[in-house]
């Protein structure tokens, strides 16, 4: 409740970042070094959302700067995107201790903030990186292997946009053979952008 009210009070992304930085409703902030709010261009037409920051992200304060972030950069680059044209965030903006999976309660507390962040950034396309981001944001119960590559509607609160889920880059680092499927998803993203999605 507190999270939802706080998130709705933010009229801009800067306000939302400031609100989150002072929000005491999520215990992860106590163990994290700092808030990892976003990176890239909030005016970009695409927004990528991952699960939660890891070690490097916690140190730098920017999402996707570690090994999986480097892979994400290469995948974006392959379709002509980079951090000047895409916006990047996570469902949970604080690193869980030891990179553990965020609990359902932690995710639920952070959900109003990432929803508001998406609404304020107002991308044309939302890309969920991995099953947890997909399940949280799109409400899809299926696994990522079945649901990836399909388009889903996403209601930002202001309008309906297209959303796509694909494998998380950390998973691709462990399972490189799956990269061909992620490549298909990125090509679909490229075509949707070219078509003015």
Q: How far is residue 99's CA from residue 33's CA, in Å, rounded to a whole number?
A: 13
Of 2, 86, 74, the residue nearest 46 (C-alpha): 86
Contact pick of 170, 172, 182, 189 for ligand URA (by CB under 6 A): 170
Which residue's CB is nearer to ligand URA, number 21 or number 173? 173
Least Cβ distance, residue 147 to ligand URA (angstroms): 17
Contact pick of 28, 32, 51, 123 for ligand URA (by CB under 6 A): 51
Whether 88 and 71 have beta carbons less than 8 Å apart is answered as no
Residue 54 binds ligand URA, judged by CB under 6 A: yes
Least Cβ distance, residue 136 to ligand URA (angstroms): 12
Q: How far is residue 177's CA from residue 183's CA, in Å, rounded to a whole number?
A: 11
Q: How far is residue 147's CA from residue 138's CA, in Å, rounded to a whole number?
A: 11
Residue 57 binds ligand URA, judged by CB under 6 A: yes
Residue 131 binds ligand URA, judged by CB under 6 A: no
Per-residue mark of binding to ligand URA, 62-101 (x: CB under 6 A): -xx-x-xx--------------------x-----------
Least Cβ distance, residue 53 to ligand URA (angstroms): 5
153 CB-side CA count, 13 A: 5
Residue 52 binds ligand URA, judged by CB under 6 A: yes
Residue 102 binds ligand URA, judged by CB under 6 A: no
Contact pick of 50, 93, 102, 123 for ligand URA (by CB under 6 A): 50
Of 94, 82, 174, the residue nearest 130 (C-alpha): 174
Alpha helices in 23-178 (DSSP H): 28-31, 55-60, 67-78, 104-121, 131-138, 144-147, 169-174
């Amino acid at each position: 409740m507190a999270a939802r009210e706080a998130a709705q009070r933010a009229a801009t992304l800067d306000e939302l970042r400031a609100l989150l930085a002072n929000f005491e409703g999520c215990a992860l902030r106590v163990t994290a070094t700092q808030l990892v709010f976003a990176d890239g261009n909030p005016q970009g037409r695409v927004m990528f959302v991952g699960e939660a920051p890891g070690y490097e992200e916690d140190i730098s304060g920017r999402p996707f700067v570690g090994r999986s972030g480097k892979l994400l950069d290469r995948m974006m680059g392959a379709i002509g995107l980079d951090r000047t044209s895409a916006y990047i965030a996570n469902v949970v903006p604080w690193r869980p201790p030891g990179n553990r999976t965020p609990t359902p309660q932690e995710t639920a507390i952070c959900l109003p903030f990432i929803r508001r962040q998406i609404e304020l950034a107002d991308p044309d396309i939302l890309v969920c990186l991995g099953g947890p981001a997909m399940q949280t944001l799109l409400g899809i119960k299926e696994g990522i292997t079945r649901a990836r590559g399909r388009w889903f509607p996403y209601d930002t609160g202001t309008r309906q946009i297209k959303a796509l889920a694909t494998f998380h880059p950390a998973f691709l680092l462990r399972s490189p053979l799956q990269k061909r499927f992620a490549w298909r998803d990125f090509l679909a993203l490229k075509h949707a952008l070219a078509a003015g999605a």
